[in-house]
Amino acid sequence: MLWDKIRGQTGAVNYLRQSIRKEKVVSGYLFQGPSGVGKKLAASTFAGALNCRVAPGEGCGSCPDCEQIIKGSHPDVHYLTPMSKSRQILKEEIDEMQRIVFLGSYSDNWKVFIIEDADRINIKAQNAFLKTLEEPPEKTILILITDQPGQLLPTIRSRCQKVIFGSWSHELMESFLMEKIVISKTESHVLHSISRGCPGRALQLSQEGILNDRKTLFGPLLDDGGSSARELSAQIKVWLDYISSRSKALSADLEKERVQWREALAPPQRKKLEARDESRVVAEERAELEMIFELILSWIRDLFICRETGGDNYIINRDMSDEIFAASRSRSQAQLCRMMEWVEKSRQLAEKTSARSTRQLIFENMLLQLGYWNLIFPAEK
């Protein structure tokens, strides 16, 4: 059954299943929780369970309706994602979705509209969306997916039934990762910590080789003050190249996919596909940068814990405990606090800007500050 594919979200799954069984399905849902924990999968599964004719309420996974929903091609299940370069969902896109909302369904199915990254709907579009949310047609469901519900208007949040999704436990994450990849318990602990219990993110980080890349990337933080300004600049370039390589790889993969469809699509459709792909690249860059901020904060946190406790029982990067312990002995409490404050401030600034070049400048400036603190205030000997 479709519901069986969702792990670690017993409360959310039970609530949605019961709402179908008791015929208490509402028109608006807000799926909120960390990124990468299965909210989108739960939304499509909910759509499948509603429209499956073989196993109503459960979703058999093999009938025509279920297969189309799994493939993302069902005519009554629609997805809306940020398409513009600014990574916002614009009023024009909401207007088009509303037009489709009021069209008839195929074969008397439930019509389900799944809005990913709903926090990216701009204010003008949110206000336009309210009317549909208040008075949708019968057998129509609107599901908003977000990890930042506070970015939505209170009037939108109040008109949706909240379904909460949580992070995975370390035990469940370890079991999941060991099914997918070859990994040690120590490495699974690290991935669980830096992904904040989000399985999708943990698997992606593992596939990207982040566990092996950290020693190179953490160079500026390992430095005890012996590097020159030129060496520091070279270390910063490593970080920037790392981020750039990820987005370039994704761009190349998406370009290959577009080549297969190019001849079959009309010019307007090609343009829309290119805009969607550009949006995916920008989203990936933002996620990559956020991940690196998390990595740096985890490293500074580990240094702080080792320095204050004299042990490594509570650190995140356990597989690098020797390096962390050695570095922690030559860092002052004030220096570590200052570093953590600066990284957090830089992350908040990066989150507020949609311009790629500005985010890169913020990140580069942060690394310069971290590195030059080591040059100007060398580690204690």
Q: What pLDDT, on a 0 to 100 scale, did the predictor assign at position 31? A: 98
Contact 189, 318 (CB under 8 A): yes
* Extents of the domains making up the chain: 2-164, 170-207, 212-376
CATH class held by domain 2-164: alpha beta
- The pLDDT tens digits for 272-302 are 777 777 777 777 777 777 777 888 888 889 9
Q: In whole angstroms, what is the distance from residue 354 CA to residue 29 CA?
A: 27
Out of 76-85, 107-116, 364-373, pick the least confident: 364-373
Q: Per-residue pLDDT for 377 more than 50?
A: no
CA–CA distance, 371 with 78 (Å, rounded to integer): 47
Instruction: From residue 173, give the alpha-carbon distance in Å to each of 194, 204, 319.
Output: 12, 13, 17
Q: What is the pLDDT of residue 327?
A: 80
Spatial separation of the C-alpha atoms in residues 132 and 93, rounded to whole Å = 14
Residue 12 confidence (pLDDT) above 50? yes
Determine the pLDDT at residue 66.
94
- How confident is the model at residue 113, as a pLDDT? 97
Instruction: Mark out the alpha helices in the chain (DSSP H runs).
Output: 10-21, 39-51, 64-71, 91-101, 123-134, 154-158, 170-180, 185-194, 199-207, 210-217, 219-222, 229-262, 267-309, 321-328, 333-352, 356-376
Counting residues of the chain whose pLDDT is more than 90, the rounded percentage is: 37
What average pLDDT is seen over the chain?
83
